[in-house]
Chains A and B, each alone.
Chain A
Amino acid sequence: MTSTVTEARLSASTESSLIRRWLKRVTTNYIVRRFVVAFIKVIIVVSLTFFLIRLMPTNPVDVYVQELVTTYGMSADEARNQAAALLAIDLDAPLSQQYIQYMEQLAQGNLGTSFRSKGTPVKDIIGRFLPWTLFSVGTSLLISFSFGMLLGMWAAYRRESVGDHAVTTLSSIFSSIPNYLVGIMIVVFLGVQWKLFPITQMRGSMSPGMEPGFTLAFIKDIFFHAALPIMTYVLTTIGGWTLAMKSSTISTLGEDYVTVAKARGLTERRIMTGYVGRNASLPLFTSLAISIGFIVGGSILIEFIFVYQGVGQLLLTSITSRDYPVMQGIFLIITIAVILANLLAEFLYSRLDPRVRVTGGR
């Protein structure tokens, strides 16, 4: 009798200690902790932007009323009535109440509905604009990353040659000029002065009446419309990748294991791909992961210049019309993207480079 009681007690205590140990393992686990921190960061940034956005002078109703008065010549009262009828906004509720309501919605995965296009979920609006930004900026990132790596390695191998000087100088020039100035130059010179591109036709993200799908015509069309933004992004970012790869390759070339590989009589090609290239590109992959986070934000300025319908353009119009839910939604996805990309960079680096591998727990 007594023995069974103590046995039961024993098993219970081992069970609870097992759970406790398991819990401890989870809470001290490196990856879990990083994710919790990332989650807290998202909440802080979302809350900050929530209040900042609502602190902006002139609220959506004012903007709409002013628009009605100036474009349709309505009287102020008439416009105010129409605005009140059209815009489903309750801006009179206290800010704290609005905040709690927004966070509750967000917890259910609901981004709310747009003030401007009444009843349209913010998710749908962002879903319409986001793919274009992902496509144009993502393509440019791929191009400039891969070509930048090749160019950088090439320049490092031909150090102090004419080619190296040309590549290095051009890289520094293009990476120092603000990207919107390059965009303006492209519009002015390639579009208007030399008439190489029909820039007015290239505006927008696809031609009107084009059916999205896996057809050659559609793919050609979206590249036609994204060509100039992509050109601008590539021109202004490839230099950074080239310079980073060049300096990384140069420092790798001085490492002992490269000298040893040479002494062992390995072929130049084998050393370049297996020893130098692999190690030199390590730090670049971390930067690539971080850059992926900034794809979502795109570039407001570039999309503005080329009238490309991406997230940047959407953010700009939602800011000028003070469409709070849309602004908030865009800020949210940009923030999440940046934070996730940073996490990815951290994990990727520790996976790729065993020397900095993180030690979990303990």
Chain B
Amino acid sequence: MAAFWHSFRITLRLISHNKVGFIGFLVVIFFVLMSFGGPLFIPLDRTTRVDQIYAPISLQHPLGTDFSGRDVWSHLVNGGREVMIVAFVAGAISTLIAISLGSLSALAGGRLDNAIMGLADIVLTIPTLPLLIVLAGLFHFNSILILALILGTLSWPSLSRAIRAQVLSLRERDFVEAARALDLGTGHIILREIIPNMASYLLVSLIFAMTAAVYAQVGLVFLGLVPLSGNNWGVMLQLAWTKGAIFYPKALPYIMAPVFAIALFQLALVFASRALEEIFNPRLRTGV
């Protein structure tokens, strides 16, 4: 227990070392708590109030109301969960595919290597957003998990290329040679020797894959091409846009709520990833 607290304190100190990164980290935690815990206390407001359309910011409505008088704050609190689940699942899927194909490609070499990299090349060539729009028509994306799955299976190629390059260079290092000389087996070499050495890189890549997934999913919803029922930041944005809220000065809090939420979340993820990178990669720590 004491050892745990010790390492916890060290981690905390390292995180707080990079101030911007630490703030990003806190903001991410805030958003996650808000989106997963908030709905328990603030239920989604579905009642139409004709007399309160685009009501200004008040104690009762901290972010004003929307085009049918519903509370914007409740929509914002309830709208983050889906976005985050899709981002995380898509990011995890693409990172997993990238790790397995990238390291397989590097270790197998030869024809398999060529085939995998050729596949990566082709997926990389197809313009992602147009393809997603076509796929959105194909799959209807009724469930957010299908959306996440498709986002994940489209975004692995560049990461898998990078992982292949890393594995290729790590493979030649002394400690891997030593492990091979000790006959520790390919599984051990990948999981115990190579992956831990790429941990920081993988974590940062996961976060970047998540931000890419947020970008793509909100973009698709905003264009009105994904008929996602329910409530999330993308749907809020799309409704605000199609209802013409941008041209209505009083609706400013309504349209800016999802914009700032998504932008801040993305920003916080990027900054937090930088702090994490420093924790895992001692060479990057400033002031050393």
When the two chains form their complex, are residues A301 and B130 in contact, meaning their CB atoms are under 8 A apart? Answer: no
Instruction: Mark A277-302 against chain B: 1 for CB-CB distance below 8 A, else 0.
Output: 00000000000000000000100110
Q: Is A184 positioned at the interface, with any CB of B under 8 Å from its CB?
A: yes
Main secondary structure of the interface of A (DSSP, over half): helix
Contacts of B184 in A (CB 8 A): none
When the two chains form their complex, are residues B138 and A192 in contact, meaning their CB atoms are under 8 A apart? Answer: no
When the two chains form their complex, are residues A301 and B20 in contact, meaning their CB atoms are under 8 A apart? Answer: no
Q: How many A-B residue pairs have CB under 8 A?
A: 104
CB nearest to A304 among chain B residues: B223
Contacts of A330 in B (CB 8 A): 130
Contacts of B252 in A (CB 8 A): 188, 193
When the two chains form their complex, are residues A49 and B259 in contact, meaning their CB atoms are under 8 A apart? Answer: no
Contacts A41-B122, A173-B267, A178-B218; A52 near B135 (Cβ below 8 A):
yes
When the two chains form their complex, are residues A41 and B137 in contact, meaning their CB atoms are under 8 A apart? Answer: no
Interface residues on A, range: 35 or more
Q: Is B145 positioned at the interface, with any CB of A under 8 Å from its CB?
A: no
When the two chains form their complex, are residues A301 and B222 in contact, meaning their CB atoms are under 8 A apart? Answer: yes
Q: Is A31 positioned at the interface, with any CB of B under 8 Å from its CB?
A: no
The answer for the CA separation of A5 and B3 in the assembled complex, in Å, is 93
Q: Is A44 positioned at the interface, with any CB of B under 8 Å from its CB?
A: yes
Contacts A172-B270, A301-B223; A184 near B246 (Cβ below 8 A):
yes
Q: Is A48 positioned at the interface, with any CB of B under 8 Å from its CB?
A: yes
Contacts of B256 in A (CB 8 A): 185, 188
Q: Is B59 positioned at the interface, with any CB of A under 8 Å from its CB?
A: no
Q: Which of A10-18, A216-224, A331-339 contacts B (4 or more CB under 8 A)?
A: A331-339
Q: Is A145 positioned at the interface, with any CB of B under 8 Å from its CB?
A: no
The answer for the CA separation of A181 and B257 in the assembled complex, in Å, is 11
CB nearest to B262 among chain A residues: A181
The answer for the CA separation of A319 and B134 in the assembled complex, in Å, is 7
When the two chains form their complex, are residues A301 and B219 in contact, meaning their CB atoms are under 8 A apart? Answer: yes
Contacts of A339 in B (CB 8 A): 125
CB nearest to B266 among chain A residues: A176
CB nearest to B208 among chain A residues: A176
Q: Is B199 positioned at the interface, with any CB of A under 8 Å from its CB?
A: no
Instruction: Mark B242-271 against chain A: 1 for CB-CB distance below 8 A, else 0.
Output: 000011010010011001001100110111
Q: Choose one: B138, B211, B246; the contact of A57 (CB below 8 Å).
A: B138
When the two chains form their complex, are residues B267 and A334 in contact, meaning their CB atoms are under 8 A apart? Answer: no
CB nearest to B245 among chain A residues: A188
The answer for the CA separation of A331 and B126 in the assembled complex, in Å, is 8
Contacts of A115 in B (CB 8 A): none
Q: Is B121 positioned at the interface, with any CB of A under 8 Å from its CB?
A: yes
Q: Choose one: A48, A181, A188, A193; the contact of B126 (CB below 8 Å).
A: A48
Contacts A169-B20, A192-B247; A178 near B215 (Cβ below 8 A):
yes
When the two chains form their complex, are residues B134 and A41 in contact, meaning their CB atoms are under 8 A apart? Answer: no
Q: Is B282 positioned at the interface, with any CB of A under 8 Å from its CB?
A: no
When the two chains form their complex, are residues B130 and A181 in contact, meaning their CB atoms are under 8 A apart? Answer: no
Q: Is B127 positioned at the interface, with any CB of A under 8 Å from its CB?
A: yes
When the two chains form their complex, are residues B249 and A192 in contact, meaning their CB atoms are under 8 A apart? Answer: yes
By a beta-carbon cutoff of 8 Å, the part of chain B in contact with chain A is 20, 121-122, 125-127, 129-131, 133-135, 137-138, 140, 211, 214-215, 218-219, 222-223, 225, 237, 241, 246-247, 249, 252, 255-256, 259, 262-263, 266-267, 269-271
27 contacts between A and B (CB under 8 A): A41-B125, A52-B135, A53-B134, A55-B138, A56-B138, A169-B20, A176-B266, A177-B263, A180-B222, A181-B259, A184-B241, A185-B259, A187-B246, A188-B252, A188-B255, A192-B249, A300-B129, A300-B133, A300-B223, A301-B219, A301-B223, A319-B225, A331-B127, A334-B130, A335-B125, A339-B125, A342-B125
By a beta-carbon cutoff of 8 Å, the part of chain A in contact with chain B is 41, 44-45, 48-49, 52-53, 55-58, 169, 172-173, 176-178, 180-181, 184-185, 187-188, 191-193, 297, 300-301, 304, 315-316, 319, 327, 330-331, 334-335, 338-339, 342
